[in-house]
Structure 1
Amino acid sequence: MSDKMLAMGSSHGFPEIETLLPHRGTMLLLDRVTAFTNKTLSAEYRVRGDAWYADPDARMPVWIGLELMAQAMAAHAALSAQSDGGPPQPGVLLGSRQYQTFYAAFEANTVLKVEVQQILALADGNQAYDCALWQGDELAAKAILKVFQPPDFLAFMQQHGGSS
């Protein structure tokens, strides 16, 4: 796959976010993809003051930024699979060694931009992404997140005690 952007669907030229992620309702924390290459993805999310995560002042706690990053990684994986001619495959967020935030919370109606860059992709399914969350031109949070996306997720889960 080349670094060209995948075009289809929404007003930004990408599929609707609901077609890329399994999350629904208030658990879907990305509004749209704004850029995609074989190693990167950018997306946006408008903070909702009436969402389940909102504090008494209608703000989003900064720890929700981890989920924004994880959903952007999943959207990248889904678009990568589509551009290679296959369906999106499930994966598991393994975690992060460090999540740095530079804000106490995010105000309602603030548009956050999340950027992810794949920095590791092994054949066994282990991957790592360098992630950043931006509020306007200011870095709001950053992390390196690790994910596991085995070639056959269902077989992996069955082999390791999961249920189907």
Structure 2
Amino acid sequence: MMTPTPKAFPAPETLLMHSGDMLLLDHITAFDAECTMATYRPQAQAWYADPNGNMPAWMGIELMAQTIAAHVGLLKQQQGLPPKQGVLLGTRRYHAHVPAFAADTLLEIKASVAFRDDSGLGAYDCVISNAASVVAEATLKVYEPEDFQSFLQGNTP
């Protein structure tokens, strides 16, 4: 497992297109060419909170996707390039070991490259853990089109 380093990483909002309540990463804690780790602490009063104030486990897919976006953003930053928009294509398997992530519990999200090519297509093996155990895992497929607007309009070759 990748060891977090004391190095200061950029704030997630500088790497992602998300902001405000839609930004679901608190900190980047580790990064290298093949993996990024981030943390998030679910909030009891957040828009996603269930009646008990917890984050439904299905939201883990978004935590994973944002960690992947941070990874790609950090890679771009190393190249002197700005972050680009990408899309989540889907998941091979998402398995949550709990029905919800407890409010105010620190979650650690790890996204490791399983596959990535020059076209922008990639797959990442992701794990979400709390202090006690793994609470969710999945392989997510993502795509970073060269021209995001053309991709949305269906004009990507």
TM-score normalised to structure 1 length: 0.87
User: For residue 78 of structure 1, what is the aligned residue in structure 2?
Assistant: 73
Q: 1:36 maps to what in 2? A: 31
Structure 2 contact 17–85 (Cα < 8 Å) conserved = no
> What amino acid is aligned across from residue 88 of structure 2 in structure 1?
L
Letter in 2 for 1:133: I
The answer as to whether partners of 1:12 and 1:33 remain within 8 angstroms in 2 is no
Report the equivalent of 1:148: 143
Q: Which contiguous aligned blocks of 4+ residues in structure 1 show a shift greater than 6 angstroms? A: none
CA offsets 1:74-123 (integer angstroms, 9 cap, x no match): 00010000001111111110000210011111111001000000111112
Q: 2:108 aligns with which of 94, 110, 113?
A: 113
Q: What is residue 54 of structure 2 aligned with on the other side?
A: 59
In the TM superposition, what is the alpha-carbon distance from 1:34 to its structure 2 partner?
0.3
- 1:116-135 matches, within 5 Å, as 116-135=111-130
Cα deviation, 1:2-58, whole Å, max 9, x if unaligned, reads: xxx9x9xxx850111111111111111000100000110000000100001111111
Identify the match of residue 10 of structure 2 among 8, 15, 19: 15
Show structure 1 runs of 5+ residues with no match.
Answer: none
Counterpart selection for 2:99 from 67, 82, 104? 104
What is the CA-CA distance between 1:154 and the residue it aligns to?
3.6
Percent identity of the aligned residues?
A: 45
Q: CA RMSD in A?
A: 1.9
TM-score where L is the length of structure 2: 0.90
